[in-house]
């Protein structure tokens, strides 16, 4: 059985990057949305990413950014993939990804009225739009766009889609094992649940989170 990949998002400090890498995170997320308390500048991200070892992916996260803003980040920070977390159209995502030559995750912000058919349709639309589309990241719809620590109903995720999605939104050390067992997603993503304060991660919580995912992967 495939092991569940892990993304730790909203990193702003070198010690938190190190903690996530040491805990076995597969991907590290850096937020370039100025209104976020986890926002980093391109220069800050470049310094943080320079400490990331091989085989750990770096994700640059944007909310309704212009192509020039994304280009500026790409020039300063060696991120491996994009995450579009705003109101971008699929075509806008595809165009920006092509301009910087990086694969992208498209975020679907799940509302109470969202259906499984909506999720499958969105994935099909993205796959048709760009060979650079990698996966949907499913988060809870909030006005602040993301990083809110809010959970959506995982039952909405079709079983056929689950192995291709990144499950996000309000996960914690205590809930992630149940999420993995129920959904069996390709990956899980977390920000608030491993923090001491917004933008300040807690190494012990990061360790506990990745450990809980590993135990769930092995049937515990
Ligand atoms: O983290 C933020 O501050 C943020 C702000 C605006 C858009 C997206 C943001 N984070 C994106 C992520 O991928 C988060 O990990 C995801 O929303 C889950 O966050 P949480 O519910 O706090 O685990």
Neighbours of 28 (CB within 10 A): 24
Catalytic residue flag (residue 93): no
**Selected catalytic residue, list 9, 93, 126, 189:** 9
Checking ipTM against 0.90, whether it exceeds it is yes
Neighbours of 2 (CB within 10 A): 9
Q: Which domain holds residue 210?
A: 5-217
Say if pTM beats, i.e. exceeds, 0.80.
yes
Ligand 1 atom closest to residue 7's alpha carbon, by position in its atom list: 15
Alpha-carbon distance 128 to 106, whole Å? 13
Output the residue whose Cα is nearest ligand 1's atom 7.
146
Q: pLDDT tens, position by position, for the chain (220 residues)? A: 689 999 999 999 999 999 999 999 999 999 999 999 999 999 999 999 999 999 999 999 999 999 999 999 999 998 999 999 999 999 999 999 999 999 999 999 999 999 999 999 999 999 999 999 999 999 999 999 999 999 999 999 999 999 999 999 999 999 999 999 999 999 999 999 999 999 999 999 999 999 999 999 998 6
Give the pLDDT score at 2. 84
30 lines ligand 1 (CB under 6 A): no
Give the pLDDT score at 190. 98
SS (H, E, C) the chain: CCCCEEEECCCCCHHHHHHHHHCCCCEEEEECCCCCCCECCHHHHHHHHCCCCCCCEEEEEECCCCHHHHHHHHHHCCCCEEEECCCCCHHHHHHHHHHHCCCEEEEEEECCCCCHHHHHHHHHHHHHHCCCEEEEEEEECCCCCCCCCCCCCHHHCCCCCHHHCEECCCCCCCCHHHHHHHHCCCEEEECHHHEEECCEECHHHHHHHHHHHHHHHCCC
Give the pLDDT score at 134. 98
Catalytic residue flag (residue 126): no
Check: CB of residue 6 under 8 Å from CB of residue 187.
yes
Distance 215 CA to ligand 1 centre (A): 24
Give the pLDDT score at 220. 67
Ligand 1 atom closest to residue 63's alpha carbon, by position in its atom list: 7
The CATH number of the domain holding residue 103 is 3.20.20.70
Distance 98 CA to ligand 1 centre (A): 24
31 lines ligand 1 (CB under 6 A): yes
63 lines ligand 1 (CB under 6 A): yes
Please count the structural domains in the chain. 1
Give the pLDDT score at 122. 98
85 lines ligand 1 (CB under 6 A): yes
185 lines ligand 1 (CB under 6 A): no
Which two structure tokens, joined as six digits, stand for 215?
A: 């135990």
């Amino acid at each position: 059985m495939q092991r569940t990949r892990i993304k730790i998002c909203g990193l702003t400090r070198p010690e938190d990057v190190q903690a996530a890498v040491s805990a076995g995170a597969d991907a590290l997320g850096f937020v370039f949305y100025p209104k976020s308390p986890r926002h980093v500048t391109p220069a800050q991200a470049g310094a943080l990413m320079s400490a990331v070892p091989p085989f750990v992916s770096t994700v640059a996260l944007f909310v309704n950014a212009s192509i020039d803003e994304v280009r500026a980040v790409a020039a300063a920070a060696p991120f491996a993939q994009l995450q579009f977390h705003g109101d971008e159209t699929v075509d806008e995502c595809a165009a920006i990804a092509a301009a910087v030559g990086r694969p992208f995750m498209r975020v679907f912000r799940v509302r109470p009225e969202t259906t499984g058919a909506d999720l499958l349709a969105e994935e099909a639309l993205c796959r048709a739009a760009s060979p650079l589309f990698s996966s949907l990241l499913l988060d809870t719809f909030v006005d602040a766009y993301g990083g809110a620590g809010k959970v959506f109903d995982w039952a909405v995720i079709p079983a056929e889609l689950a192995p291709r999605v990144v499950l996000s939104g309000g996960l914690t050390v205590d809930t992630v094992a149940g999420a993995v067992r129920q959904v069996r997603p390709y990956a899980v993503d977390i920000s608030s649940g491993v923090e001491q304060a917004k933008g300040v991660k807690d190494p012990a919580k990061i360790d506990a989170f990745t450990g809980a995912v590993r135990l769930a992967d092995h049937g515990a």
